[in-house]
Structure 1
């Protein structure tokens, strides 16, 4: 995984209260006593409710799978109103988007977060305007997705998301850096994607007719030579998955959450292997 560090910034390790393991506590990974370990504190810079909730649930559920019943790293979340982000995006004001993200970053740093993630693909357009002034480093969602796509052997990736995301360079650069080709849906499909996402999915509304339309977009990307699609909107996993699509899916929300877990648990692995915590 690739952490984007601001000038001179690095994660900090903090002590946490310990507790007794619950009944039935599984064997920890690599012999690590997770109840007495100190994972890093994850900060979530949220944008939409559905995407942020899915990311948070993934961190908690998969944290428990790795650390034991009910266990997960410390997590803090902050979000400005989605309306504030949409207003900036409609005005093509990426500086405004960056200011909102940096405001969340500052609040999360004060809450103790060691590093930051943003479970929203669209506003990653502004991340390069945030990193230099950020009090904490970031994981980049497109970098994590591109790494997994390459590891799975995919060659041509279809990009699904809001029209702001699909029209942007958020994914093309990181896919190209891994030697991967990509395809964007045609304009009519981009508008359809945007309408379903912004008018339905961000409110948690799921309509069978809309799901069928999204599946049709994936079919057309397959016809265009794609061998996988990135669910480049954090609400799309609510309705699309490997089981109902013509192509394998790259769930950006869950892939980012898993990368964050890897990063948060890395200090304990380092100590268990004879190193020192950061």
Structure 2
């Protein structure tokens, strides 16, 4: 089994899901007492959030590079960033660390292709929705991506990711609003909805919408499992 390094704490809630899903996935494949051989470097989320608020991606990159170096020194053969937004610097990090980085958007694009969809809606932080680092990976595969057009909707998603979901807080009111926003994207032609933040699966589940959902946490962890067993 190949050893992987998880960079988490962005947030601890989704990192816990990553650890659980990867270990269960390995056990499903191998049975017995077989589980994932992995290392975890978990950040204090407040430090990452402060950088984000100041648009200081250089400082965040230095933090992630240090984490990746620690994981590499511990024997990790690939890096998994346990957050969509951090993939803004994923390509740069992979080049600097000299290890494979299992890219969440690339893996999501593969799953969308399997369903032969051409237009999907993307929900995530403002960085994920408004910048191109995630959407470009889909465009390379001929997939069009749309995001909410209302600034109020984008602000709501961004706020609740950090102030509610990232703290493990889930309310029916927030779930209802997320579903309304997702259904608006479907009305605008989205054939599927990407849950482009690792906390959004807390409020949108399979069967909640009339189109397929692409849970990036599930997709990413399955890719990590496949790498470990390759």
Name the TM tier (shorter chain). over 0.9
> How far apart are 1:170 and its partner, in Å?
2.1
> How far apart are 1:190 and its partner, in Å?
0.7
Pairs within 5 Å for 1:1-278: 39-46=1-8, 47-186=10-149, 187-266=151-230
Aligned equivalents of 1:56 and 1:196: distance in 2? 23
1:13 alignment partner in structure 2: none
Which runs of 5 or more residues in structure 1 are unaligned?
A: 1-38, 267-278
**Runs of at least 4 residues of structure 1 off by over 3 A?**
none
Which runs of 5 or more residues in structure 2 are unaligned?
A: none
Answer 1 or 2: which has greater helix percent.
Answer: 2
Could you tell me the TM-score, scaled by structure 1's length? 0.79
> How far apart are 1:135 and its partner, in Å?
4.5
Aligned equivalents of 1:55 and 1:255: distance in 2? 11
Aligned length: 228
8 Å Cα contact 2:7-2:40 kept in structure 1: yes
Could you tell me the TM-score, scaled by structure 2's length? 0.95
Q: Which has the larger radius of gyration?
A: 1
Aligned equivalents of 1:88 and 1:43: distance in 2? 23
Superposed CA RMSD: 1.2
